[in-house]
Structure 1
Amino acid sequence: MTDLFEHPALQETPPQPSRRRSAASKRAAAKRKRRRRQRTAIVLVVVLGFVGAGGFLLWDRMDSLVGDLPFFGSQAEDYPGPGGDPVEVVIPEGATGGEMAAVLQDAGVVASTGAFTQAFGENPAAAGIQPGTYQLQVEMKASDAVAALVKNEKVQTDVTIPEGYTVAQIVEKVASVTDITADELRKALEAPESFGLPKQADGNAEGWLFPKRYSVQPGDDATTLLTAMVDQTKKELEGLGVSEADWQEVLNKASLVEKEAPDGYRGEVARVIENRLDRDSPLGLDAIDSYGRGKPASEITVDEFNDEDFPYASRKQVGLPPTPISNPGTESVKAVLDPPEGDWIWYVTVNLDTGETKFTDSYSEFADYKAEYQKWAAENAG
């Protein structure tokens, strides 16, 4: 009983930069705007002397064309430094040099994006700047701002955990963004009572590390972050009215929905899971086997799928898997709590590009859907 579909790739929305700006930074911003207007006006006077009748069009569009770019070989505007009042800026995850420049200019740290991007390109270590919150100063020389960021001395670091990540993926994600190492996280996970994991989880944090954006402050360690994740899961469950006695079961079901359901079909997949459980039928979900084996379903052998002694063999075992298989988000939990009515037992995603998924309680119809998927796959191979 294999359901054919592929879960869409999960994506991080880069955290939006937040800024705390002092009065000095606001004054600096106003000063920059005045300089920019003055510079634009001078440029336009020169240009209009050459273009004559075409001047009106240029006047209408020149401000967007000039921006902070140097004109006629001039240098991009830069502060002499060393800087004034402190200001905190957030470097988003995955930010380019240009994106960093925009953040810093808006916060009053650098005079122009051009000066920063030039300094960024001249510093070989700039590519190693990490996301997070930094304390800089208003009106810094651009090269000094780059040098400060290169030190990676962050006030805090933001890390975003996508929905559907497993504990192992979360460990690697956190270690890649923050100063908390993978070994520190794994060691903390071995002491579940230290970060508030409920006893019903039986020492396994899978399903309990809520996916969202977390700010890691200086001095935070693995236990601090894991505690925040578990506390957020408890808060979400309580907010949805889930009885504490049902927490583990709800998270287990929601983890299956999170891994199995294409966008827009969480409720229907949740109903299929309930219907199969009610019939005492094996769930037959490849995502369960894949989690248990630690490899893609395409690499699992027939013998492994049919291994009756393996607790995650979803074609053989009746009931929920021993643990959740991912860390689900709120929408998957909601789907489990209130799935739509339906007699569906099978489903097939017939188009992996659109995610179109069809549900049925008829095995012959299920076979037709499988054939429809196979036809689509053959036409879209490669």
Structure 2
Amino acid sequence: MSDDLADFFEENTHWVDSKGNTTSVKPPKPPKSRREMRRRRNVRRRKTIIVLTMVVAVLVVVIAGGFFGVRALRAIRDRNDGDTYSVQDYSGQGYGSVEFTVSQGESPSSIAKRLVEAEVVKSADAFTGVSSGMTLYPGTYQLRKHMPASSVAAILSDQSKAEGFLDVNAGERVSDVIKKAAALSEIDESEFQKIIDAKGEGILPAEAGGNFEGWLEPGKYDVKGLGSAQKILKTIVDKRVSKLNEMHVPTGNERQRLLIIASIAEAEVNSSDYYGKVTRVILNRLDRDMTLGMDSTTAYGLGINGTQLTNAQLNDSSNKYNTRVNKGLTPTPISNPGDSAIQAAMNPEQGDWLYFVTVNLSTGETKFTTGSVEEQNAQFEQYVKEYKDNNKSAN
């Protein structure tokens, strides 16, 4: 009972104010039972818990608001170049010369870090800030030390200023690719030739038969960064094999056959709209035991352009790539076909076409014959005349 009475009197000790005045006429009535006293204690505890909970909630809101407020202020500060707390940057034109290479797929933060290490820009934040939203192209660039970050970003986002990257284009021959690779990498062309003469040992797949033609994947390559002819050729061939696998091109001899057909289609017409028809022409002629009659193949065998062919060369059967006189496909592809030509070789259009003529060299317009053999021969003669007429007017 003593504890209960103590609680009661503790609860009701403030009967007078600070001046000694009585605050109530009568003291509160004592509780009638212990149950009532316990009820009052529970009410007080709940009130205390509620108050503490509200205090904690307010503190959390204040702390969170302060944290995010500071972050927002920092973001605003970083965006304001004229702010007194702006990131460190150089001014002026810089000095000296720095050769700087951006790798394929390299992140802006990585580029920024290396620019600081090369003493080109003063801080990584300065560069990432001004280059945000820009496309930074791979390649080797000529820069200077102590350049403003904005000037560096302008150069690295201008693809025309990139050096040292090789463009392998669809339809190019290996010989042309090698010349460009040697010039850009500053590796002697003889180093590439040694690998070609060794039939690409350790680089080419077995179905290539030791010949690189058709096995160079179109795209951009950091030939200067790769550093050796072996690495350059292996990188390009590996990418070709990977792409063919992604496209589900059949393996083995069928893969080489499809590359040959695709390369001829790529060389014969300059528009992907015609690849499907040209591949069907090739298959139709093979099915009829006809010669392919493609001048592009004959020119390839001689290492010249099709416009340089003579009648004697067109009738020379010793040229294994002369499909005017030799039946069947060529021994190897005659160029590095792109994806569209390869897809067309795998899925040729349906038709009875046996001949086609590019009647307009300016637009690339190409016409295909159809119908009986006699009808197609007549149409072919008509298209040849149209080609000659257009060619005369062009001259």
Partner of residue 389, structure 2 = 375
Secondary structure of residue in 2 paired with 1:249: helix
Alignment partner for residue 325 of structure 1, among 313, 329, 334? 334
Match of 1:254 among 250, 254, 262: 262
The structural deviation recorded for 1:283 is 0.6
Q: Which runs of 5+ in 1 are unaligned?
A: 1-25, 36-76, 93-103, 112-130, 150-154
Q: Which residue of 2 aligns with 1:312?
A: 321
2:95–2:146 CA contact under 8 A, matched in 1: yes
Contact kept, 8 Å, 1:285 with 1:315, in 2: the verdict is yes
* Cα distance change on mapping 1:369 and 1:34 into 2, 3 Å: farther
Deviations for 1:121-179, whole angstroms, at most 9, x for unmatched residues? xxxxxxxxxx933596774289xx9xxx9xxxxx9932111111111001111112223
Would you say how many aligned residue pairs link Structure 1 and Structure 2? 270
Note the alpha carbon deviations across 1:13-41, whole angstroms, 9 max, x for none. Answer: xxxxxxxxxxxxx99x967x649xxxxxx
TM-score by length of 1: 0.62
SS of the residue corresponding to residue 213 of structure 1 reads strand
1:303 Cα offset (Å): 2.2
| Residues 158 and 203 (structure 1), Cα distance of their counterparts in 2 relative to 1, 3 Å cut | same
Give the letter for the 2:139 counterpart. G
- Rounded Cα–Cα distance in structure 2 between residues aligned with 1:159 and 1:307: 36
Written as runs of structure 1 = structure 2, the 5 A alignment for 1:178-189 is 178-189=185-196
TM-score using structure 2 length: 0.60
RMSD over aligned Cα atoms: 3.8
1:187 counterpart SS class: helix
Q: Could you say which structure has the larger radius of gyration?
A: 2
Matched, 1:334 2:343: yes
1:86-119 deviations in whole A, cap 9, x for unaligned? 9966599xxxxxxxxxxx9xxx9589xxxxxxxx
Contact map agreement 2:168 2:219 (CA 8 A) in 1: yes
Match of 1:348 among 357, 363, 370: 357
Match 2:234 to one of 227, 231, 235: 227
Identity of aligned residues (%): 38
Structure 1 pair 157–295 and aligned structure 2 pair: CA distance change class (3 A)? closer
User: CA separation of 1:275/1:225 partners in 2, compared to 1, >3 Å: closer, same or farther?
Assistant: same
**2:172 matched to which residue of 1?**
165
- Per the TM alignment, residue 296 of structure 1 is displaced from its structure 2 partner at its CA by 2.5
Gaps of 5+ in 2: 1-74, 84-89, 105-114, 123-137, 157-161, 371-375
Secondary structure of residue in 1 paired with 2:249: coil
Contact map agreement 1:156 1:216 (CA 8 A) in 2:
no
Q: Would you say the 8 A contact 1:78–1:110 is kept in 2?
A: no
Confirm or deny: 8 A CA contact 1:195 1:230 kept in the other structure: no
Q: Which of 199, 209, 225 is equivalent to 1:202?
A: 209
Structure of greater relative contact order (alpha carbons < 8 Å, 6+ residues apart):
1
**Aligned partner (choices 209, 230, 246) of residue 239 of structure 1:** 246
Instruction: Provide closer, same or farther for how the CA distance between residues 197 and 219 of structure 1 changes in structure 2, counting only shifts above 3 A.
Output: closer
* Aligned mates of 1:193, 1:291 — CA distance in 2: 20
